[in-house]
Structure 1
Amino acid sequence: MNDTVFPADEASQVTRALAALRDSTGIEGGILPHQGGGSVLLHIAGRALRYECAVRRKVDRYGLLPDLARRHGGGPKTLLISAPLSAEMAGRCRELGLEFIDTAGNAYLNDSGIYIYVTGRRGQEALRPARDTVASPAALRMMFAFLAAPALLNASYRDLATHAGISTGVIGKALDALQARGLIGTGPDGRRRILQPEQFLNEWASGYLGRLRPRLARYRFASADFDRWSPAQGHSAWGGEVGAAYLTKHLQPRTATIYLDMSDPALLASMVREFGLREQADGHVEVVEMFWHAPSFVEWFPTVPPHLIYADLLGSGDVRHVPVAQQLAGQIVERLQQAPELAGVRR
């Protein structure tokens, strides 16, 4: 959940594009919350320009652009937000008068004396939207477990199922799918390993935001007395902004995201009662269902594993979170590369 009207995966792409625009041009922008449609505000030369957004993961055919231009022509100003556009696609957007920004920092903006045109930037892998994944929610739970504890790549199906909170029946098919995509492989010693840690992380985060998180029980609350709450190991842990602040010391939290073991309904009920929580759509306290075996992966307590915090930040739609998410991603990938299970993986 977030305060924007973008779905979580689109909010992540818009956030990355705004951060890339700032890097390439110095233009500041932000997502407008609670609007009738997905909107952004760009601050350029003392002016504030509001755009409705057309978010596209990939624009690789010329035929898509005239259709977009026609569909949005004559209405509110529309901004195409996409993965990195080729110079040819950027030029075609300009010919059609279709303003755009992308996740590499390329841009075309043209409004009453304001003219911005940037092309040729290919972007950094850390800012590219992850490739869409066909992973099922069960497979995403398994990927979460591998990121938290790479040793589980070679654990028994029974142990893996216990920690990940899945059935043993889905494991073989999910492993085959990961291997077919080149994300995991088998070394000379016959043991499985993650072959592409960065891509594995980003595929998991994208899949979590788009496929797993929407299925989880989630609640928003307001409370004037929540500062004294603290998590209990094996039952609850910080995610989101508070978790990121704890791990990086580089964020001032405005919201509190808590992952809670909801297999015991009494835990949520007692929290609501003790801290006077009131359900509120834009409340600053978010409680999300733990989707793994709650006593597992407690090495990071009082936070959840960092790759879950990384996904929370990407899905928030808050530009402040981009550098912190990048910092976490670098640390996660480095830890994976140094894991004994990944010895020999290209860095």
Structure 2
Amino acid sequence: MYRDNDFIYEAIANFEEYSGLKVNVESTRNEYDAVLQIQHYSFCVWAKASARKSNVGIILEQIQQYDKNKNWILIADYLAKDVAEILRQQNCNYIDGAGNANIRTNNLFIHIEGKKKEKKEKKNQSRAFQEVGLKLLLLLISDEQSLQLSFRALAEKTDISLGSVSYIFQELEDSGFILKTKQRRILKNLDVLIERWVIAYNEVLKPRLLRKKYSTKRDDIEFFYEFSNAEEIYWGGEPAAKILTASLRPAIYTIYYNGELPKMSIGLKLIPDSNGNIEVYNMFWTDDLKFKYPNTAPPLVVYADLMGTESSRNAEAAKIIMDNELQY
């Protein structure tokens, strides 16, 4: 799929204006999004349209993959202020679309902040990455065979309208995420699609699903897992990662539950606490979504929960889930 990275040039133009430096941009190298020459230093460019708190886990995981012998720089069309602070703590160079920058290498130090990008008129937002689209995409990504179902069957399985299914499929085809042949439909550019799903889920849908936060005085937190076997409780985030990867000790307990909160809170001996580390969300998938792990949310939801945090250990667990559960 063609990657729209034209924002690189706008970001560089704004950076040149505020820094007073001339930047040479080479964008013909297939292995990088671009290569910058600033003074006598070269930087391999990693471009992202959006760097937000909702996909900071993906960003931190990608930072770890890059060759430490090269100078790297993130160029983001939009870079959230709190993410910029995280990048500075990780010693990651960046330039955003407004020209804000933080670059440190050898004797070169540049810091620009407080610049605002001219706002563009908003375009109609894609249905594919709003609530109904996220529900449909969860099924399509989680179950490869669902791509071959009729629109009516997909509407029934996801509890969304037939018209919405049709519109969303057309958007996904137009965006290069679905290829339709005479025999079948094929999901394309899965890594890009999953990243967009993670961002939209953490920003659009998940905040609407939050029901309540709790804390507990119990020491035997393993009781949670025993209780979930008898109730319609599904673990997300860190506790689900513990089940899926056997490599993570939870600090935040994410629960998906559509039942009565008093029943659950009494059973688990929970204390209402707006700052608590036990977070209860409504489920948003239907029983037609089948997955092999009982009492865990779908792997894509668990992956998104983990990637929506700033934790490097969560990013490592998320990568295991990606490799084992989300690859066709």
> Which residue of the partner structure matches residue 205 of structure 1?
198
Alignment match of 2:136 (pick from 139, 142, 165): 142
d(CA) in 2 for partners of 1:209, 1:147: 17
> Which residue of the partner structure matches residue 244 of structure 1?
241
CA shift, 1:318, in A, is 1.4
1:152 aligns with 2:141: no
> Which residue of the partner structure matches residue 339 of structure 1?
none
Given that 2:60 and 2:315 are in contact with CA atoms closer than 8 Å, whether structure 1 keeps it comes out as no
Given that 2:253 and 2:277 are in contact with CA atoms closer than 8 Å, whether structure 1 keeps it comes out as yes
Deviations 1:192-248 (A, max 9, x none): 221222222222222211222122233211012353133248932111011112111
d(CA) in 1 for partners of 2:247, 2:205: 28
1:10 aligns with 2:52: yes
> Which residue of the partner structure matches residue 163 of structure 1?
157
**Percent of aligned positions with the same letter in both sequences?**
23
Change (3 A) 1:20 1:295: closer
1:176 aligns with 2:218: no
Given that 2:202 and 2:304 are in contact with CA atoms closer than 8 Å, whether structure 1 keeps it comes out as yes
d(CA) in 2 for partners of 1:138, 1:245: 29
Unaligned runs of 5+ in 2: 1-50, 70-80, 111-124
> Which residue of the partner structure matches residue 209 of structure 2?
216
> Which residue of the partner structure matches residue 256 of structure 2?
259
Change (3 A) 1:41 1:207: closer
d(CA) in 1 for partners of 2:198, 2:176: 17
d(CA) in 1 for partners of 2:109, 2:312: 21
Given that 1:15 and 1:317 are in contact with CA atoms closer than 8 Å, whether structure 2 keeps it comes out as yes
Given that 2:213 and 2:277 are in contact with CA atoms closer than 8 Å, whether structure 1 keeps it comes out as yes
> Which residue of the partner structure matches residue 81 of structure 1?
none
RMSD over aligned CA atoms reads 3.5
Change (3 A) 1:40 1:175: closer
Q: TM-score, normalised on structure 2? A: 0.64
d(CA) in 2 for partners of 1:250, 1:42: 28
Deviations 1:86-121 (A, max 9, x none): xxxxxxxxxxxx42xxxxxxxx238xx99779xxxx
Q: TM-score, normalised on structure 1? A: 0.61
Give the aligned residue type for 1:195: K
SS of 1:311's partner is helix
> Which residue of the partner structure matches residue 235 of structure 1?
232
CA shift, 1:178, in A, is 0.8
Count, aligned residues: 246
d(CA) in 2 for partners of 1:17, 1:198: 13
> Which residue of the partner structure matches residue 299 of structure 1?
292
d(CA) in 2 for partners of 1:326, 1:208: 18
> Which residue of the partner structure matches residue 321 of structure 2?
328
CA shift, 1:313, in A, is 0.6
d(CA) in 1 for partners of 2:63, 2:175: 31
Change (3 A) 1:242 1:188: same
d(CA) in 2 for partners of 1:155, 1:309: 25
